[in-house]
Chain A
Amino acid sequence: MHNPSTSEETQSFSEWALLKRLGKEIKQHQSWFVIAIILYAPLLGLELAKPLIIGQVVDEGIRLQSTSTVAKWALVFLGCVLLAAVVRFVQMYMLQWMGQSAIRRLRHRLFRKIQGLPMSYFDRMPLGKVMTRVTNDVQSLAELFSSGAVEIVGDILFLCGTAVMLLWVDFSLFLKVLLVAPPLFIGLRYFRNAARASFGKVRAKLAAINANVQEVLNGVRIVQLFNVLRPIRDEFESENAGYMQANRKAIIVDAGVYSYVDALSTIATALVLFFGAREHFDGALELGILVAFIDALSRFFHPIRELSQKYTVIQRAFVSADRVYELEDEPSEFDGLSGQNKSVHFDKTLRFQNVDFAYDVEKPILKDISLEIKAGERIAIVGRTGSGKSTLMKLLQGHYLPQKGTIAFDGVDIKDADLMAWRQLMAIVPQDGYLFEGSFRDNLTFGRSDIDENKLSDYMKLCQSDWVVERHGGLEAQITAGGDNLSAGERQLIALTRALLVEPNLLILDEATASVDIETERRLQKATENALADRTSIVVAHRLNTIRQADRIIVFDDGQIVESGNHDTLIALGGVYANLVEHQQSNFA
């Protein structure tokens, strides 16, 4: 159910770039990070002490048949382990805290980012996919921290340490070990590509599942009404199965890396034995050293094996980080502005000048719109569906920017304005306004939480929504997501009240009362007539009788303004408007 054109699998960042950005996430806690690393030293020390202590038990305790010495060293051993456990806990806590804080900040940034994305982003991106990035992808970065991948640094330190030890034990044998380096690197390279590809697929499938679920659940009523559960389910099943298949491939890669590295480490040991034996026969190598070398070699490969296990965790995180940072790097809606952030007022005029707009370059929607609205004027816009009325309202709200031309309040162009201040000048009742899950009060005061009780009830009366609230049990009664427990008319009345409560300079009603019954509408018109007399309003309507008293009626056709004037002049003109009125009246015949 997702838009196939939005590819989820392409990767935009190099590994190095991702690493740097991930590093930046914890930069704030640099000192903690360093301390956590330093704590490896006592851990290492305590680890090394263990065999020594056991040696002591054997040498001093058992040989000398002293039970008290045995007890003493057993206690020392216990003490060491306790200490190690405490240090380990402190270290893990620090790393966890750092990781989770980084995740929290990242999530916050992404959410903030979304609030400022241009609306056009949502035209092409299914919401479920956006959600995937903020939750699942960020969550898989959290896994990076919680699965201890930060301990990589420790592993690398350990690796270097043992490498030095090996070099010190026998230089030439170590060179032999390096024989496995080329296959190791070639293998890792192969696995890296395989891992990124397969994890990329896995998360793309997950995003698709999320997009599907988000959408289908939004439309679950339609799914049931049209009895299409089966095809919907089949589509989902195949996505679900695809996700599983992708995961199975990832499992092979994951298991493959570890096994490959593990096998190579054993083969390296075999190589050492092979060459060591020869050197021993030549008298160049003592057996003791060979044994010590092999022993050290197993310790050398331990961190490599550990690393290989974290390798896939990291690759998985990289794939998610890529999507997360891609979202973060999306241009925001402010990028189209000049950045002057001028304050805006609406005391004189709102002017559209030669505005051209297209969602899709090939298909112009608004063509050379010029329109001047004086403060206090009541404007009505009529026109065929799809002629661009709502689009003009979207431009007015700054959801999209015009490709050409200017929109200005009192001479301040939207591109130079502070967009927030710009939007505060107006309130809209959109064609299908979303109501949020929450109480009636939350929804009504959505734009103005500081409103006082009297005003609230005044406006509710004014907008005929008082009975709606009462019917549902008062202001604290709950509205479900999308307003699903309200009737269509009730929803519109609530949305209308919500907008009027903001007491905006400019009120935009985009077919705001289309589902309100005639009786209520009549009362509404009477009530709002006076209240809105001094307020500028733009009303988009199909019910022409509701806009008759507008100061000016603007007639839209095919993205252009074709007529403008008051009802009488337009009727007299006998053009598009008169024709529309004719049509509507003919229905009564």
Chain B
Amino acid sequence: MTTLTLSKALNEGLRKALEDNPKVIIMGEDVGKLGGVFRVTDGLQKDFGEDRVIDTPLAESGIVGTAIGLALRGYRPVCEIQFDGFVFPAFDQIVSQLAKLRLRSLGHITMPVVIRIPFGGGIGAVEHHSESPEALFAHTGGLRVVACSSPGDAYTMIQQSVRSPDPVIFFEPKRRYWDKAEVDLSAALDEATPLTAARTVAQGTDLTVLAYGPMVRTCVEAAVAAGEEGRSLEVIDLRSLSPLDMDTVLASVRRTGRCVIVHEAAVSGGLGAEIAARITQDCFYHLEAPVLRVGGFSTPYPPSRLEEHFLPDLDRVLDAVDRALAY
């Protein structure tokens, strides 16, 4: 076991992927010499060369579009989008091209492209640097969408994503890049939790809290606080946002009868809406309370001096828990 930050765990995962398969390449803005603005690719160009770790021209549509071409030619590109708010110039390439090539070719084409996106707020940044656009991608058939929340998962999930035959939109919780945890660098990938599976990170009996990415830590802290008041919360880290691991979710909600879903993204039209609808449909008679959602408002992300109000925090999670338990 080694103690690593989430950023360093991703770095080690990418290093492993580059070592394991010569077809793996990394491409993006400032990923080479600088090692990325969050240092996720630090040292990789030095060790694997400019051919494998590529500083690209400043154009996101170009990054993803050429990654598609490289994938057609047998490469496995891992693209970095510098910040969540800058993925949109590439949106057309991702949604209209990357997601659909397998289908359009009747399965002749595979698209093993990973698009890494640091997402979410809480770092005091200027606009376009704190967005949570995951629902837009989860809404798109043909893409797999995942979010890691801890160094251990970061290390395995990035490698599993690189091995995925389907394109993966890989969300990284940027405000948790510096969170540290023990990581087993020698663990066999085949034995790790599958990329499609959710994980129960805190067991409980009174209510199920669903979260992913940066909100997992917030919700675990909320569970601890609730525990001190005699309330037992189960916290599930969804990990895979498309497809959703509804089996794990439903099994938990059937036991607890109550559910709160937490994400930074706006509640309206967010992933919580999808999950709540499925829970209501598939375990209606187990529910003791309506499924509640905690998330951003239906506004653009505010200037950073207001972000603490926009972002769900421990109090807002507990407030929803109280409301759900009041039924």
Do the two chains belong together in a single complex? Answer: no
Show the binding face of A for B, using Cβ within 8 Å: none
Show the binding face of B for A, using Cβ within 8 Å: none
